[in-house]
């Protein structure tokens, strides 16, 4: 899978893309992630990427020209080829005004070959970028960040761990939270008794059937307590989150 990221703060991505499973998958060539500095595509001596909003109001807005130039030129398309670009690449604007991210969206994106993520700053990006360059808008939740970089990293991390070969143990995807409409059951490890706090007896019983049943019930109970809108039923019930 290829992911191109557009940002005015490319250094933010250095460590997260170097460490852990993500870094390993990049080094193995399973993922091709390229970070582009939008400022490199800005014109003028000051390489200005922002300007005051038309109509007044606080803050600045990211200008359209450097963003269009960064995406089209880095991907090898002309400004007269935006239709083809949008057909071949999923171009996503990260914005709190976007469609809210959930596991169903993550699964859909994990099947794509090529994604471009545009990170806003200031008051956001000129709307013509959304209208004429982007195919999607995505919000990682109902709160406002100062920039799209951490949102892009959330998208990268959640989407790429579903790409075959990225996770060491793909089996762990099967019973994860949201995978079957429930949040996951509680997990415990050694020691079985820590300061007098014991793990549930059934987990050390060696009875695999009883462990399965306990986990299913614990997952339902936790889901009903923390996220009742999910329905607490396996295989769905309530909105997929
Ligand atoms: N003025 C915008 C609004 O009220 O909708 C908020 C702009 S925010 C300060 C700057 C940038 O952070 C956005 O352009 C976007 O790229 C990113 N951002 C902030 N919150 C986000 C979220 N929940 N999901 C995705 N991106 C977000």
The CA 197 to ligand 1 mean position distance, Å, reads 43
Residue 11 CA: distances (Å) to CA of 7, 8, 28, 67: 9, 9, 22, 18
Q: What is the pLDDT of residues 153-193, one digit of tens each?
A: 999 999 999 999 999 877 677 778 887 889 999 999 999 99
Strand locations in the chain, DSSP E? 2-7, 32-37, 50-51, 61-62, 90-100, 114-119, 136-139, 193-194, 197-198
Mark which of 131, 160, 189 sits at the end of a domain.
Answer: 160
Q: How far apart are CA 239 and CA 200, in angstroms?
A: 31
Residue nearest atom 26 of ligand 1, based on CA coordinates: 95
97 ligand 1 Cβ < 6 A? yes
Q: Which atom of ligand 1 is nearest to the CA of 124?
A: 14
Clarify whether residues 142 and 174 are in a common domain: no
Domain boundary among 160, 182, 204: 160
Which residues form the domain of 204?
Answer: 170-230
Looking at residue 237, its pLDDT comes to 41
The Cα–Cα gap between 148 and 9 comes to 10
Among the candidates 119, 134, 160, a domain finishes at 160
**Nearest-atom index, ligand 1, CA of 119:** 16
Below-50 pLDDT ranges, the chain = 236-241
**What's residue 170's pLDDT?**
76
Mean of all residue pLDDT scores within the chain: 94
Which ligand 1 atom sits closest to the C-alpha of 139?
24
């Amino acid at each position: 899978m290829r992911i191109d990221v557009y940002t005015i703060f490319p250094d933010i991505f250095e460590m997260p893309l170097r460490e852990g499973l993500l870094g390993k998958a990049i080094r193995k060539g399973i993922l091709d992630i390229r970070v582009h500095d939008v400022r490199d595509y800005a014109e003028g001596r000051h390489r200005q990427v922002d300007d005051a909003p038309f109509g007044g109001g606080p803050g600045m807005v990211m200008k359209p020209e450097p963003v269009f130039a960064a995406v089209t030129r880095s991907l090898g398309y002309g400004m007269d080829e935006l239709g083809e670009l949008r057909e071949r690449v999923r171009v996503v604007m990260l914005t709190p005004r976007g469609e809210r991210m959930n596991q169903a969206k993550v699964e859909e994106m994990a099947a794509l070959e090529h994604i471009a993520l545009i990170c806003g700053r200031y008051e956001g990006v000129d709307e013509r970028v959304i209208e004429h360059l982007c195919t999607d808008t995505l919000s990682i939740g109902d709160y406002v960040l100062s920039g799209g970089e951490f949102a892009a990293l959330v998208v990268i991390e959640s989407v790429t761990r579903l790409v075959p070969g990225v996770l060491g143990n793909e089996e762990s995807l099967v019973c994860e939270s949201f995978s079957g409409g429930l949040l996951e059951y509680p997990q415990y490890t050694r020691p079985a008794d820590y300061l007098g706090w014991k793990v549930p007896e059934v987990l050390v019983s060696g009875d695999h059937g009883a462990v399965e049943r306990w986990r299913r019930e614990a997952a339902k109970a936790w889901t009903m307590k923390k996220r009742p809108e999910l329905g607490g039923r396996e295989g769905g019930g309530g909105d997929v989150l």
